C-alpha cells in the first residue's frame, strides 16, 4: 500500500487518529524523560563516594541548653559523648564534626593558595572542623604529610593546620607538593583520599578539614561512628540511650547510616524517576489498548474494502502489512511530536532538579520500544483482517 493511501486512510478517521497521536506524543515524552531520569539517578547512586556507606553512622544532634552550645562547655560535652559512644560493642571509632558528609549544602567557603588567589580561588568548598579520629572514622587514607593528632584553636596565635582532599590539592597546587605550603585557611599539614562532601560544592570531592574544637553549635553538630561490619542494627539501637545517659540536655534529630544519607541526597530524583516510570508504563499500556481498539475497529469496519482487495488479488501478507503500516505511520508521527514535547518537559524539569539534556540516541531507543508495543497491540486485529474472504466483497452488492 502506498504512503498516500495510508495517509488518506488515517485522515478518514481523523478524530480517532488525532487522539491516538496525542496519546503517543505524551507517552514518548514521559518515556524519554523517565528513562533519562532513571539512568541518571542509578548512576548517581552508584557513583564512588570514597566512604564505607554501610559501616558509618551519623548522629545529628544539638544541646538544648544555651550554655552547652558554646565552648568550653561544649568541648567537655563532646568528649563525654565520644567516650560514651566508644564503649558500645561494635564501635571502632567515633568523632565529632560541625557537619557530616553527603549533604546537599552546608558550611562552606572559598579556598585559594596564598599569593595566587586570582589563579587558584575555589568557591563553595566544604569546611569541616573535626576531632582527630574523623579521618579514621571515614576510612580516609593518608596520601601525603602527617595528620594532626590534637585540636588547635581556630582563633589562637598559631593558625590551625588544614588537611585537603586529594582532588582539592591537585586543583590548588597543580602537581606541586602541597605539604608545608599555605592556603588562606592555614598551612597544609596533609592530603587524604577523596570523599563526597556536598552536592552543591564546586566539586563533590573538594573538602577542607581542620582538627579544631567547635565554638558554637546553634544549628547542631554531627557525631560520626565507624562500626564493625554487620553491627549497624545493634549499635544503632543503643546510641540514643547512651548519649542521653551522658547528658539528657540534648535533642537528637536523627541517627542514620551514610548509605541512607546518600539515598536521601537523591530522593527527589529517585521519587520523580519512579513516578515518571510508572506513568510511562501506564501510558504504554493505555497506548497498546488504544492501538488494539483502533486497529480492531478499523478491521471490522473495512471488511468489505478488504474483501474487494482480496478479490482483486491482494494477498493475506499484503493486508497484514497494510494494517501494521498504518499503525507504524501513526506511531512515527506521534513520536515526532513526542520528541518535541520531551525536550520541552526536559527543560522544565531542569529548572527544578538536575537532569541532563536528552541525548540523540535515546529517542531512537524509546521509539523502538514504542514501535514494539504498538506492533504487539496491532498484531491480532491485523491477523483477523487477513481472514476476510474475497466473497465478503459481494455480500452487500
| 397 residues of the chain, pLDDT tens digit each | 566 555 566 566 677 778 888 888 888 888 888 888 888 888 888 899 999 999 999 999 999 999 999 999 999 999 999 999 999 999 999 999 999 999 999 999 999 999 898 899 999 999 999 999 999 999 999 999 999 999 998 888 888 999 999 999 999 998 899 999 999 999 999 999 999 999 999 899 999 999 999 999 999 999 999 999 989 989 999 999 999 999 999 999 999 999 999 999 988 888 888 888 888 888 888 888 888 887 777 666 666 566 666 556 566 667 677 777 778 888 888 888 989 999 998 898 888 877 888 888 888 888 888 889 888 888 888 787 676 666 555 555 4
Residues 9 and 76 in one domain: no
3-state SS class at 180: coil
Determine the straight-line distance between the first and last CA of the chain, rounded to whole angstroms.
25
Both 8 and 107 in one domain: the answer is: no
Residue 72's φ and ψ, nearest 5 degrees, are -95, -10
Q: Whole-angstrom Cα distance, residue 271 to residue 348?
A: 17
Rounded distance between C-alpha atoms, residue 196 and residue 203, angstroms = 9
Burial of residue 268 (CB within 10 Å: 0-12, 13-18, 19+) is: middle
- Give the model's pLDDT for residue 52: 94
* Same structural domain, 57 and 133: yes
Q: What is the pTM of this model?
A: 0.78
User: Is there a single domain that holds both residue 135 and residue 247?
Assistant: yes
Query: Does one domain contain both 217 and 77?
Result: yes
Cα–Cα distance for residue pair 158/352, rounded to 1 Å: 45
Same domain (yes/no): 67, 203: yes
11 and 72 inside one domain: no
Separation of alpha carbons 83 and 78, rounded Å: 8
Is there a single domain that holds both residue 271 and residue 377? Answer: yes
Residues 6 or more apart whose CB falls under 8 angstroms from that of 221 comprise 60, 61, 62, 78, 96, 97, 98, 99, 214
DSSP per-residue string spanning 261-283: HHHHHTHHHHHHHHHHHHHHHHH
- Closest listed residue to residue 33, CA positions, set 380, 275, 312, 375: 275
My answer on whether omega of the bond before 72 falls inside 30° of 0, hence cis, is yes
Cα separation of 124 and 229, whole Å? Answer: 34
- Give me the pLDDT at residue 397, please: 46
- Are 90 and 211 within one domain? yes
Do 210 and 154 form a contact (C-beta atoms < 8 A)?
yes
Q: Which residues contact 393 (CB under 8 A, 6 or more apart)?
A: 304, 307, 308, 310, 311
Q: Which of 258, 275, 298 is the last residue of a domain?
A: 258
Same domain, 326 and 371: yes
Q: Residue 61: helix, strand or coil by DSSP? A: strand
Tell me the residue ranges of DSSP E strands in 82-220. 91-97, 108-111, 122-130, 142-145, 162-165, 182-183, 186-192, 208-211
Q: Are residues 84 and 208 in the same domain?
A: yes
Alpha helices (H) along the chain: 3-12, 14-45, 73-86, 117-120, 134-138, 166-173, 232-246, 258-265, 267-301, 303-311, 316-350, 361-386
How confident is the model at residue 148, as a pLDDT? 95
If asked whether residues 176 and 275 sit together in one domain, one would say no
- Domain residues for the domain of 360 are 3-46+267-394
Q: Of 203, 226, 258, at which residue does a domain stop? A: 258
Specify the number of domains making up the chain: 2
Whether the CB-CB separation of 370 and 24 falls below 8 Å is answered with yes
Of the residues 258, 284, 308, the one at which a domain ends: 258
CA distance 239 to 128: 23
Residue 138 · residue 219 · CB < 8 Å = no
Amino acid at each position: 500500500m502506498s504512503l498516500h493511501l495510508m495517509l488518506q486512510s488515517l485522515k478518514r478517521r481523523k478524530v480517532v487518529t488525532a487522539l491516538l497521536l496525542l496519546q503517543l506524543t505524551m507517552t514518548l515524552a514521559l518515556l524519554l524523560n523517565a528513562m533519562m531520569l532513571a539512568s541518571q539517578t542509578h548512576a548517581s547512586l552508584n557513583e564512588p563516594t570514597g566512604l564505607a556507606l554501610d559501616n558509618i553512622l551519623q548522629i545529628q544532634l544539638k544541646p538544648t541548653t544555651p550554655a552547652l552550645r558554646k565552648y568550653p562547655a561544649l568541648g567537655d560535652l563532646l568528649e563525654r559523648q565520644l567516650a560514651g559512644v566508644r564503649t558500645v560493642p561494635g564501635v571502632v571509632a567515633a568523632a565529632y564534626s560541625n557537619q557530616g558528609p553527603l549533604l546537599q549544602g552546608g558550611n562552606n567557603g572559598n579556598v585559594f593558595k596564598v599569593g595566587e588567589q586570582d589563579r587558584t580561588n575555589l568557591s563553595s568548598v566544604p569546611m569541616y572542623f573535626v576531632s582527630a579520629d574523623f579521618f579514621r572514622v571515614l576510612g580516609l587514607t593518608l596520601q601525603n604529610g602527617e595528620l594532626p593528632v590534637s585540636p588547635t584553636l581556630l582563633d589562637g596565635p598559631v593558625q590551625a593546620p588544614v588537611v585537603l582532599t586529594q582532588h582539592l590539592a591537585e586543583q590548588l597546587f597543580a602537581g606541586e607538593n602541597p605539604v608545608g605550603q599555605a592556603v588562606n585557611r592555614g598551612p597544609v599539614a596533609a592530603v587524604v583520599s577523596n570523599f563526597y562532601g556536598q552536592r552543591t560544592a564546586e566539586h563533590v570531592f573538594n573538602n577542607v578539614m581542620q582538627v579544631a574544637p567547635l565554638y558554637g553549635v546553634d544549628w547542631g553538630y554531627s557525631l560520626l561512628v565507624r562500626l564493625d561490619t554487620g553491627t549497624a542494627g545493634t549499635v544503632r539501637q543503643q546510641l540514643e540511650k547512651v548519649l542521653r545517659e551522658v547528658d539528657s540536655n540534648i535533642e537528637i534529630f536523627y541517627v542514620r547510616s551514610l548509605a541512607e544519607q546518600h539515598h536521601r541526597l537523591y530522593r527527589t530524583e529517585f521519587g520523580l524517576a519512579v513516578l515518571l516510570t510508572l506513568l510511562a508504563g501506564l501510558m504504554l499500556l493505555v497506548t497498546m489498548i488504544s492501538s488494539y481498539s483502533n486497529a480492531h475497529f478499523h478491521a471490522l469496519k473495512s471488511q468489505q474494502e478488504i474483501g474487494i482487495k482480496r478479490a482483486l488479488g491482494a494477498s493475506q501478507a499484503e493486508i497484514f502489512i497494510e494494517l501494521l503500516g498504518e499503525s507504524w505511520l501513526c506511531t512515527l508521527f506521534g513520536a515526532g511530536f513526542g520528541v518535541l514535547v520531551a525536550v520541552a518537559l526536559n527543560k522544565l524539569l531542569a529548572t527544578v532538579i538536575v537532569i541532563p539534556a536528552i541525548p540523540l540516541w535515546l529517542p531512537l531507543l524509546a521509539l523502538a520500544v514504542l514501535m514494539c508495543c504498538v506492533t504487539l497491540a496491532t498484531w491480532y486485529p491485523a491477523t483477523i483482517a487477513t481472514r476476510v474472504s474475497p466473497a465478503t466483497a459481494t455480500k452487500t452488492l
